[in-house]
Structure 1
């Protein structure tokens, strides 16, 4: 099985609200959400210095890249986290059907809605393996529960979306953006899920993760103003 390098037409950009130009036409966005950052947690690697508590973030999804973020962005001291939705590379048809049945939808903006963004980079050893070799590490076996087995236990409480970056921005220090939403009351379950995913005895795939940090946010209504 060969991994495709094509990307979906659904692109996502996580950017500081302050960096969005005045008069920017949001009508062509398929999604526009706003957040305020509560905490940035280093795991392996550091977040951009400008990404810190109190930062107002926007998530923009569109059918094409947003070009005004491409020129002079890094030089300005800002940051851009972006990716594109692709098909699920390591999930079989039966697993996809099961996930659609189990998975909760995105939550409405609320002070009780927590969002966590985790940029993740995989090691050269991961990308040197074949698609089939990588897929085995995701599956449940007699020896380990695997990524899918762990994630499905929490799918009814934790919304997840994966964005791919590796093939659209090879210079980025991360290969994926993993985005989660859940009620604040379910935060202990989220922490437990992440702990299980990082346990390489239960999920050997995580042996190949060499870059990650967590951005904890509150999902705001579009009219709300973030406060530091």
Structure 2
């Protein structure tokens, strides 16, 4: 497992990712922005006005069992594939009811009942994703999920989101913002 990576998503006037849509599905929205820059590690922040920054860290897979982790690693492709010009940043905060559950109870809801990991695997390798943990950093969201996919896979991505949001796990989501993006280099 690679070491944790701090990642910051800067919403503002600069960055290679142009925002095509922002919508709050639960709770408060984020201020509207034109672009998002993704800052990994100690890289410098983008120029231009920044309206908000969301930070998270990659790390251990908290709810994933070994067989699932191995299957994910074997099937998922990396980020920044040339054909993956569409992306989505989905920050999520879960309720205190979720966090008051024991780890095994959260795992049971996440996978045994909701099949979160299994649903995501149905869309690999077309949809690449990276999960960032934010709760322990004092951020306004618990998780920041970054997805990248080719334009031809957008319908499959939408289907995946609909399947996930229809599960019991989403009963515990109290804030969710969906930000759709298109990569525009140069």
Q: Which residue of 1 aligns with 2:53?
A: 80
Contact 1:11 1:82 in 2 (8 A): yes
Question: 23, 27, 35: which one pairs with 1:45?
Answer: 27
d(CA) in 1 for partners of 2:6, 2:123:
26
TM-score between the two structures when normalised by the length of structure 1:
0.72
Q: Displacement, 1:17?
A: 5.7
Structure 2 matches for 1:133-212, cutoff 5 A?
Answer: 133-140=105-112, 144=113, 146-169=115-138, 172-200=139-167, 204-212=168-176
- Within the alignment, does 1:58 sit opposite 2:37 as a pair? yes
Q: Give the structure with higher Rg (CA).
A: 1
Q: Displacement, 1:209?
A: 0.9
TM-score between the two structures when normalised by the length of structure 2:
0.88
Contact 1:173 1:211 in 2 (8 A): no
- Unaligned runs of 5+ residues in structure 2 are none
Q: Displacement, 1:99?
A: 0.5
d(CA) in 2 for partners of 1:41, 1:17:
16
Q: Is the alpha carbon distance of 1:46 and 1:101 closer, same or farther for their aligned partners in structure 2, counting shifts above 3 Å?
A: same
d(CA) in 2 for partners of 1:77, 1:56:
9
Contact 1:107 1:182 in 2 (8 A): no
Q: Displacement, 1:78?
A: 2.1
d(CA) in 1 for partners of 2:130, 2:50:
27
Q: Displacement, 1:90?
A: 0.3
- Unaligned runs of 5+ residues in structure 1 are 1-7, 20-32, 70-75
SS in 2 for 1:46: coil
Structure (1/2) with the larger strand percentage: 2
Number of equivalenced pairs: 182
